[in-house]
């Protein structure tokens, strides 16, 4: 599939807005302002996915995933480095909670945080394109860099990965977040149709 420059630009803008809404979701959860960079968006064929191509430069990641259906079928992965995930959970639960307790609630808290951030992303895209989208329940796992790449490469019926990378600052600590939308060409075509109606 070849996207025209205009279509990729429109798609990037929608993804960027979604990513910024997800960052705002993080800010709402921890009750602190979160500074964010402009997201960087790339379209990658799944055959070309590798750790360097995805800018995965840590050993372990906290990964929340959710599947979508509706006008397009896709799966969204939200990644933070494992260290950043713990930092975020600590902020979410209150700094008085010690690190052992933070580790105890990490899965539950990251699942809920992921649900909020992913749905903020999803809702902004659905509303921008005027299409309803349904989502599955969030799943959270800590994965190594290799496991993330394997997971993406083995994804069913997905052909492309729309990657958005965003740099955040949470309570003076830099946090790198990634949102990977796994999507097939039919779904991209449907989104392009919606964009065509959107841009007239």
Partner 1 sequence: MSKKVLVVDDSKISRMFIRQHISAAHPDWVLSEATTGEEAITMIDAEQPDYCTMDINMPGMLGTDAAKEILAKYPNIRLVIFSANVQESYQEQARALGTILVSKPVNPQSIAQALNYFTGE
Residues that bind partner 1 (CB under 8 A): 25, 28-29, 31, 105, 108-109, 111-112, 115-116, 118-120, 122-123, 126-127, 130, 132-133, 135-137
Q: Which is nearer to partner 1, 9 or 28 (CB)?
A: 28
CB of 29 to partner 1, least distance (A): 4
CB of 32 to partner 1, least distance (A): 11
Token pair belonging to 137: 């329940």
Q: How far apart are CA 153 and CA 147, in angstroms?
A: 10
CB of 177 to partner 1, least distance (A): 16
CB of 134 to partner 1, least distance (A): 9
Q: Which is nearer to partner 1, 25 or 39 (CB)?
A: 25
Q: Which is nearer to partner 1, 67 or 159 (CB)?
A: 67
CB of 92 to partner 1, least distance (A): 8
Q: Which is nearer to partner 1, 59 or 127 (CB)?
A: 127
Based on the number of CB atoms within 10 Å of its own CB, is 137 exposed (0-12), middle (13-18) or buried (19 or more)? exposed
3-state secondary structure string across the chain = CCCCHHHHHHHHHHHHHHHHHHHHHHHHHHCCCEEECCCEEEEEEHHHCCCCCCCCCCCEEEEEEEEEEECCCEEEEEEEEHHHHHHHHHHHHCCCCCHHHHHHHHHHHHHHHHHHHHHHHHHHHHHHHCCCEEECCCEEEEEEHHHHHHHHHCCCCCCEEEEEEEEEEECCEEEEEEEEEEECHHHHHHHHHHHHHHHC
Q: Which is nearer to partner 1, 19 or 115 (CB)?
A: 115
CB of 16 to partner 1, least distance (A): 18
Q: Which is nearer to partner 1, 133 or 148 (CB)?
A: 133
């Amino acid at each position: 599939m070849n996207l025209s420059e205009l279509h990729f630009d429109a798609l990037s803008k929608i993804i960027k807005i979604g990513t910024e809404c997800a960052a705002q979701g993080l800010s709402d959860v921890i009750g602190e302002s979160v500074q964010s960079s402009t997201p960087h968006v790339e379209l990658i064929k799944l055959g070309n996915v590798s750790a360097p191509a995805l800018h995965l430069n840590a050993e372990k990641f906290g990964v929340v995933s959710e599947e979508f259906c509706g006008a397009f079928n896709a799966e969204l992965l939200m990644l933070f480095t494992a260290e950043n995930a713990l930092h975020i959970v600590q902020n979410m639960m209150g700094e008085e909670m010690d690190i052992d307790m933070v580790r105890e609630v990490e899965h539950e808290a990251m699942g809920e945080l992921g649900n909020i951030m992913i749905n903020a992303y999803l809702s902004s895209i659905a509303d921008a394109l005027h299409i309803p989208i349904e989502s599955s329940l969030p799943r959270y796992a800590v994965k190594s860099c290799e496991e993330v790449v394997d997971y993406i490469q083995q994804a069913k019926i997905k052909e492309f990965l729309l990657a958005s990378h965003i740099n955040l600052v949470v309570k003076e600590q830099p946090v790198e977040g990634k949102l990977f939308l796994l999507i097939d060409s039919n779904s991209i075509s449907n989104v392009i149709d919606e964009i065509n109606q959107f841009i007239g």
